[in-house]
Structure 1
């Protein structure tokens, strides 16, 4: 809403500064794909009472705001996230500057420092380039040499600016004058290639010079035509028959002249040192096959073939999320292996590869094999890899030292064995950790070291499986975007890393691969169609619900209403499809479902046959998703849809309870679903909470939930006041339980609770129908970390004021913990809590960023006095927070200390 001109206000507020200007594009690239970027900012101030009352955004063609100025006018709103950039839509390659000022209770701030935004190629007609392939490479059905491409060109003078727009049908390593255009790996990542192909825009100005220049690239199979899934025989060329490069260099010379160098039939093509490179297989590199000097100008490529130009692919858009990069380098322990060669122990189960320095004679080889664990004999335990050979091999070209790095692959491993031919010396070994380079935003720690290790295991599993898309595992012949895994893990993911753009990108592929009738595939991108059984590849409850729950998690964590609007048709489509599967009695009793997958009580080879009735789980999931869609519909103004989905959700819940309530509450998952998905009537919640607590006690603290029940069971216990049982479940270190893997030395989260038994034996992972399924890096059970943040430490966004606009501090001490802390980098700034307790007191220090507010929910127990920032708090100043009598204190921005004296907790 517009109001007075900002210039009319003479009052100023020098205590507040507008900082942290950013767009929703999180790629780190020089350009953005959005014609109308979404803008966000933060406030910095030592004055905790400062709040934004209105804002003004200006854009201009220059950074001093003299040319092409446009503005929002004064907008009376506290909003500072996802504000549409004012002025006309960006044109391709256009550069614009923007700045913000806000009005507080003291008046207007100064303008922020300006931020720059540049448009990528926004129209298909902007692409003069065409994908190019090596003619002899097209149609190759087996792993083989990676094609290489080059184009030499002359620049008559120095360069003012240069942009390289580049992608591949496959994955590429592109360089200008022999220098890498970025540190990005496995570009352009994996999307639903038939609908969307991402490209990147790089500033290569500094890489060019007057005179002769050259662009060169190697293109690997990647996900585009490499091996995918566990099927036998191996399934390849899923998306196309040829690996290809698409590159367009736009150069503006010192005199303003513009030149374009684009991939076409004038480029030269051959093969080089990469004899094969597969995501599952690893890479084979023969350094003798590298044409000397081919990446530099002046190389004679007359013996190479002309490249073959292909049609421009559909769905070209610039990547808006961080790229895959080397995010850490580790020094491993290197010792002699018992069967010869060297044994490498990274000290941590990681996703990545080894970088080795070696020297030896021409033709001598170095081989690297990988595994997550060692078997009882001390050898690499490779059975869980199934068809993924996960082996890198190098052939040396001469006697000098050389750094060996695999191309176009990654491995899930802690251990590796290096073997080499006689005469080869290994002088250095590094572990390179790779992941999508998301910003770390959350941290947690407490007084229990085993719980801290569990939390770190979860962080490592998220890092290892957030690689271009949210995968199930990084090591075996799978590595797919299973919807069920991220459906349960999304809230934790958003606590720990800035997962917004990453998951938004994946959700767009989910919608693209969703059937027209609304049914969602089990994996996204959907490659299970290779099985040829469409009835199996779609439509599992708890898996397809990712279409609804993942956008909702983004809304809660980031206040991202835009993602709800963008994904709404997908969300509603899934719920409508599910509703069409209900029987006359309102129960979803047909179709295949994974159910409470890997419930410890299920047969080891049939993990979908869980102890909680699948029909109850499926119907409950529909009820939950329908109610969420109803809430979304109200938020975006679709009132009629909200009413319809709300009624559907309530009816499904009632049907599920009427048919299965008595049976469901005999399992931990059944109780947790009944409570957390709102299936049980309100009058039954207390009774079901007692049932759940009794189940935990009878199991001596051992967990009995699978993928769907696990993220719900601890919240269900604490929501019904059973804190002792919640901590007993968390802290149990016997199998099955969260701390059992920690006790066994795990450094990531396991797929199975009993991947290694109490006796140290590795689970065979046998599945009905053959094959093995046991991964030591699967984040699903790590969803418990959301409870560690929200309940143990007590830090969470308020879903009624999402994006941490209001922060809920609700710690629940227990389990003999003496302290806990958590912090989160929110859209408003850093929010944090640290509490400690002893036999007679409880103290919590909290931090609330400027512009946000907080509610501190007093921990369960009794106390004689409450003080906030040293001032006694009267009982009348505390509002009732929940049905268990917990009281809450409202807090403004800034640091606060809350103390309780004569305190007695519940554990």
Structure 2
């Protein structure tokens, strides 16, 4: 739309600015794969009560906006996910956009301009074809990592250059010997047969007139390396390959395109093997000197072969894997000469060493999460993962680090051959580089440690996909784990695009009948350790990731387009469950994983929980039906909303008729009955009291597994049993959250009793399933944000917030902040004698509602709060 016919509107709100312009692409790359990018922004201003009532977006071909398309004035009070107001972009196009908003005082000034560039949107844009080294094809075991290179000539100074690059496998790509980015393990793990991600890099500064070299090393990664405890290989293909297209604009106006094609050469170097589970083996004596630079003589390298263009090429829209932290660990030399390293925390990454030693000498690094009774690495719980990096030196000083692998560990041992000196040891912490948005602190340092452990577990397991654990021969995208953890994930790190990408693969892998595989991306699992169950189907709680994760994303970020993108997946899953209901409206016919790892379940059968698995399954049918009804309502599907709301009611009634008495015998049973609307309204109070009594009778010990844990504390506080909720939180006996803290945990454990009260580890009892970095039980952090501190969204994306602190236990203060789409919201409270002070900050464009905690009274009217800072004083209610 051209704005020339719009009346000029006088700017009247000079105190408010539009900032933080962004699209739905969070990759950090120079281009996007969205031809009609969704647009978002934030508001800044010191005055209180700022509200957006409307906006106008302009799009132009130049940053001075001499020609514009406009949205016109659009009534809206939200700042997220607005439609592109111009013609769809074509491949390689560049546009500029800006925003102004009408607030309660009038129009703001125009924002600064933001630039958007599109990547390659269609297969016809790719002149390149994947290339591979023929002698590497068909390997059935780890072997030398292929190297690929090509030289090319530029007759003039390069003024612009875009490298579009991906691989079958994982790649490290350089231009003239310099890395094109610090991204790791690109292109990550997706449903490779259907979707392969690529990245677009600005490499202008790496090129020069004359001869240049483009090169890459291609590791097996998830594409061809070991996967699952069966250590299957070649799951997706029997060869790795590089796909690269370099498009260069020269100062003389000409363009040069360099593609992967038959003119490339392939060889091998110092990487003798690289596997995600087993680690990396390098012999520095084998590295061809200067192979990444122009002028290298590659006459004895072999010609490459090409293969067809992969299906589903799409540019990555979420942040890459990177080194996100560097730690200087503690270390000591053991009596046998082994150097023992302690990173001080459980993490995902590797050791980076500086060593000196003669040619042919060796350095071996092994990793583990915990030590055994003799103070040495406990590696048996890694199962088939060797988690070992081996190096052979070429002589003199060298920096050593592995490639195309990662390890989950706190402890490591370094063994060297004679004559080797370890000059420096550092730990690189590796994860998908998501922006931290949530913080929590309180007066109890044990709870703070628990929260920090949750953060580390999310960071360590959000690596390309949301995994269950980062250390053993698994590291899979288990649906049940992220179902339990999604609301916490979305509050602690900006997980929007990361989980959106994962849900895209879930949609692709979903079965025609709506069933959802246990892991995404889907790979053959066979028997599940330690149960030896031949489990190939869907399971309640696990498949419900199809509804819970999109709902959590919408709740946290408020982007209706994202919810709409996954609505069909949500609906297909619910219809699958409906098709499996018995005549009485319950789901009891399928094998289920149930309330997995309920602390009373036999160690060798974690699916045998005290809460009936059929009840749990039926409760989740009701839960997902209600989430789907809410999504349908938000998307304007009125009839569907009514249908699925009715399904929720029917299923809840059926579950209560059949298991009402049983549900009241377990913590999980009560929690699901309350949080999923299974218990009739007239029974909520009695079920809440029953749950509280169960907690008291168990001396505050937790009695829930993966599916019950996220809901037990909210169930208690929603029925007025704050004291019992804090009793559960602050319990230090096994099983319990603070028991893990007391035993020295730095990440969340898979099993409540992973370390016994005497400090020993019962490896035999735990069988083959014992991880010390599993985030599922970290779902407790949602309750810390929303109830302990009292910061929760009432409307999607925190457009309206509820400030509802619930002091309890021995806590005397708590605070939380979350960088919402509107800006940072925070709440902090403290108790002194009989006074409760609450400080809150609401970002511009939002409003809030204060909920007074039971037992306290405010002398002020605080029901509705505008944006800005607020200080509330409450006094304890005294009873005569």
What TM-score, normalized to structure 1? 0.95
Deviation at 1:160, TM superposition (A): 1.1
For 1:367-382, what aligned pairs fall within 5 Å after superposition?
367-382=364-379
Q: Does structure 2 retain, via aligned residues, the 8 Å contact 1:6–1:74? A: no
Q: 2:234 aligns with which of 234, 237, 240?
A: 237
- Provide the secondary structure at the position in 2 that maps to 1:837: strand
Give, in whole Å, the separation in 2 of the partners of 1:580 and 1:902.
Answer: 53
Q: CA deviation at 1:457?
A: 0.2
Partner of 2:656: 657
Partner of 1:783: 779
Paired residue secondary structure (2:621): helix
**Aligned counterpart, 2:680:** 681
- Residues 668/530 of structure 1: CA separation in 2 closer, same or farther (3 Å cut): closer
Q: Residues 4 and 74 of structure 1 are in contact (CA less than 8 Å); yes or no, is this contact kept in structure 2?
A: no
Aligned-partner Cα distance in 2 for 1:481–1:11: 50
Q: In structure 1, what is the equivalent of residue 854 of structure 2?
A: 860
Report the Cα offset of residue 531 of structure 1: 6.4
Measured in 1, the distance between the counterparts of 2:871 and 2:199 equals: 47
* Residue 339 (structure 1) shift: 3.4
Q: Tell me, in whole angstroms, the C-alpha distance in 1 between the residues paired with 2:520 and 2:202.
A: 31
Equivalent residue number for residue 35 of structure 2: 35
Aligned to 2:702: 703
Shift of 1:528: 2.3
The answer to whether the Cα contact below 8 Å between 1:9 and 1:108 also exists between their aligned partners in 2 is: yes
Matches within 5 A, 1:308-387: 308-387=305-384
What are the ranges of 5 or more consecutive residues in structure 2 without an aligned counterpart? Answer: none
Contact 1:839 1:904 in 2 (8 A): no
For the residue of structure 1 that corresponds to 2:758, the secondary structure is: coil
CA distance in 2, matches of 1:791, 1:464: 26
Counterpart in the other structure of 2:830: 836
Q: In structure 1, how many angstroms separate the alpha carbons of the residues matched to 2:716 and 2:875?
A: 26
Distance change in 2, residues 1:694/1:477 (3 Å): same
Match of 2:404 in 1: 408
Task: Give, in whole Å, the separation in 2 of the partners of 1:7 and 1:425.
Answer: 75
Q: Under a length normalisation based on structure 2, what TM-score does the superposition of the two structures give? A: 0.98
Matched, 1:433 2:432: no
1:510 corresponds to which residue? 506
**Residues in 2 aligned to 1:358 and 1:203: alpha-carbon distance in whole angstroms:** 34
Q: Per-residue deviation at 1:537? A: 2.3
Q: Give the Å deviation of 1:80.
A: 1.7
Where does residue 454 of structure 1 map in the other structure? 450
1:734-773 to 2 correspondence within 5 Å?
734-764=733-763, 766=765, 772-773=768-769
Moved more, 527-536 or 687-696: 527-536
Decide whether the 8 Å contact of 1:586 with 1:655 is kept in 2. yes
What do residues 126-179 of structure 1 show as CA deviations (whole Å, max 9, x unaligned)? Answer: 001111111011110000001000000000010110000000000000000000
Q: Distance in 2 between matches of 1:199 and 1:904?
A: 64
Q: Distance in 1 between matches of 2:646 and 2:859?
A: 43
Q: 1:584 to 1:282 in 2, by over 3 A?
A: same
- Say whether the 8 Å CA contact 1:5–1:74 is kept in structure 2: no
* Matching of residue 157 in structure 1 with residue 156 in structure 2: yes
Q: Measure, in 2, the Cα distance between the counterparts of 1:644 and 1:52.
A: 34
How far apart, in 2, do the equivalents of 1:470 and 1:502 lie?
A: 9
Give the aligned partner of residue 731 of structure 1.
730
Q: Tell whether the 8 Å contact from 1:346 to 1:431 is kept in structure 2 after alignment.
A: yes
Q: 1:527 aligns with which of 508, 523, 529?
A: 523
Q: Which residue of 2 aligns with 1:882?
A: none
Using the alignment, how far apart are the partners of 2:5 and 2:826 within structure 1?
37
Aligned equivalent of 2:176: 177
- What do residues 340-382 of structure 1 show as CA deviations (whole Å, max 9, x unaligned)? 2200000010100000000111111100000000011101011
Matching residue of 1:883: none
Residues 1:780 and 1:291: Cα distance change in structure 2 (over 3 Å): same
Aligned equivalent of 2:869:
895
Contact 1:12–1:109 (8 Å) recurs in 2? yes
> What are structure 1's unaligned runs of at least 5 residues?
868-872, 879-888
Within-5 A mapping of 1:576-655: 576-655=575-654
Question: Is the 2:2–2:70 Cα contact (8 Å) retained in structure 1?
Answer: no
Change beyond 3 A, Cα 1:680–1:203 = same
1:481 maps to which of 477, 481, 485:
477
Structure 2 residue 444 is the aligned partner of structure 1 residue 442 = no
Alignment length (residue pairs): 876
Alignment partners' CA distance in 1, 2:144 and 2:462 = 28
1: distance between equivalents of 2:104 and 2:393? 69
Mapped to 2, the partners of 1:502 and 1:437 lie a distance apart of 10
Residue number in structure 1 paired with 2:98: 99
Q: Deviations over 1:228-259 (max 9, x none)?
A: 0001xx31000011011111101011122111
* 1:633 counterpart SS class: helix
Alignment of 1:41-56 (within 5 A): 41-56=41-56
1:902: how far off? 4.0
1:64 aligns with 2:60: no
1:264 and 2:261 aligned: yes
Q: Deviations over 1:570-592 (max 9, x none)?
A: 11000001111111111111111
2: CA distance, partners of 1:156 / 1:534: 64
Aligned 8 A contact 2:841 2:867 in 1: yes
For 1:548, what is the secondary structure of its paired residue?
helix
Say if 2:619 and 2:652, in contact at 8 Å, map to a contact too.
yes
Cα shift readout 1:829-886 (whole Å, capped 9, x = no counterpart): 01001100123100000000001001111111043x423xxxxx3xxxx6xxxxxxxx
Q: CA deviation at 1:456?
A: 0.2
Cα distance, 1:643 vs structure 2: 2.0
Residues in 1 aligned to 2:784 and 2:878: alpha-carbon distance in whole angstroms: 21
